[in-house]
Structure 1
């Protein structure tokens, strides 16, 4: 699946120093487009297969296990372009620590700015329109954080520290958040409609890593929590 050779050491260094790592995977766009054509059916058997292919990609798993040790998938949503707004999922800089990692699956034709080093500073933020934190440009200028522009004509796969500021200028990203156990304990569970087939898909995800869990619960007959 990868279009370039993956090295965990290089990925970890980029994640720690810049706040993100681009896996340079141009195969993502076609699958994201297919998900779009299907109407973004996240909480289905199709959605679980999509999740397995990307959020639980072997390279992503290795970064999660090296960075967070034990964590769970706790959030899965699509974020569209929002020009003029630099956002982040988590704030607090060094005090907050690296406890949440985000996976961006970029649609074809997307463009984003990642504000390097912003994850290393406790920046003033405001509550944004879409339940993310927004970072004023003045704060980014204050700490010398500059944007690194990424263009994804064929789609792309990026993992980033959730404290990192980003601005989606064009397109959208299907987004997964993985958080450590103490963080995920405060998050609501994602509810899945119970079916035997969907339960099996979830079990298939659970066996991929002993250190990466799922913040799911089933609703309906035979329902259980994950």
Structure 2
């Protein structure tokens, strides 16, 4: 999507998500094994940015109520701090709108990063895991339970017949979309 300049907030962007994530036989069963019902609540692209970040604040007592599916560009590199989601970590809101986690705290907990180079493909991740992206980009889709997604601001999509039809084709008995349609302004 990013490479071809296809915006998520389009019928093509939504169809990309449906084809490559929701209908993917390696991804959908993982999501369904965690959630009885879930929804797509967030889409964003992330790229290389110095420092360790997480999508959500850490809470070791919390059950898994959100998962990220990341589709990485070829040759991307990122370091994942395994086990970081099992610790209460101090964090501040970063310039990239993610939660910045101090590397010194991760090291103090004897955690070590695992560097991954993505030749192609994706990754399913707990959003509390600290990550540093050193090269490339990831198209990131966040899925969560009804309670979590209900607290998120809806994804804003232009109101059009194509987009509404695509959203309807994506929804099902155990899956929803957290969207708000924007009316087009007449000029």
Q: Same fold (TM over 0.5)?
A: yes
Shift in Å, 1:97 = 2.7
Q: CA RMSD in A?
A: 1.6
Alignment of 1:166 onto 2:128: no
Shift in Å, 1:128 = 0.9
* Aligned partner of 1:179 among 144, 158, 171: 144
When structure 1 is superposed on structure 2, of 158-167 and 97-106 the one drifting more is 97-106
Deviation string 1:51-70 (CA, Å, 9 cap, x unpaired) is 11223123322111211322
Contact 1:115–1:166 at 8 Å: present in 2 too? yes
Deviation string 1:129-178 (CA, Å, 9 cap, x unpaired) is 1111111112111222211111123x221000011111100011001111
* Aligned partner of 2:45 among 66, 78, 81: 78
Deviation string 1:194-213 (CA, Å, 9 cap, x unpaired) is 22222111111113xx2221
Contact 2:156–2:180 at 8 Å: present in 1 too? yes
Contact 2:157–2:179 at 8 Å: present in 1 too? yes
Contact 2:67–2:143 at 8 Å: present in 1 too? yes
Higher share of residues assigned strand: 2
Q: 1:59 to 1:37 in 2, by over 3 A?
A: closer
* Aligned partner of 1:126 among 87, 92, 100: 92
When structure 1 is superposed on structure 2, of 134-143 and 92-101 the one drifting more is 92-101
* Aligned partner of 1:60 among 27, 45, 64: 27
* Aligned partner of 2:182 among 219, 222, 225: 219
Aligned residues: 183
Alpha-carbon distance in 2 for matches of 1:129, 1:113: 19
TM-score under structure 2 length normalisation: 0.91
Name the SS for the 1:66 alignment partner: helix
Shift in Å, 1:44 = 1.1
Unaligned runs of 5+ in 2: none
**Aligned residue in 2 for 1:201:** 166
Alignment of 1:41 onto 2:4: no
User: Any runs of at least 4 consecutive aligned residues in structure 1 with deviations exceeding 4 A, and if so which?
Assistant: none
Higher share of residues assigned helix: 1
Shift in Å, 1:37 = 4.2
Deviation string 1:62-105 (CA, Å, 9 cap, x unpaired) is 1112113222111101111013x110011233223311111111
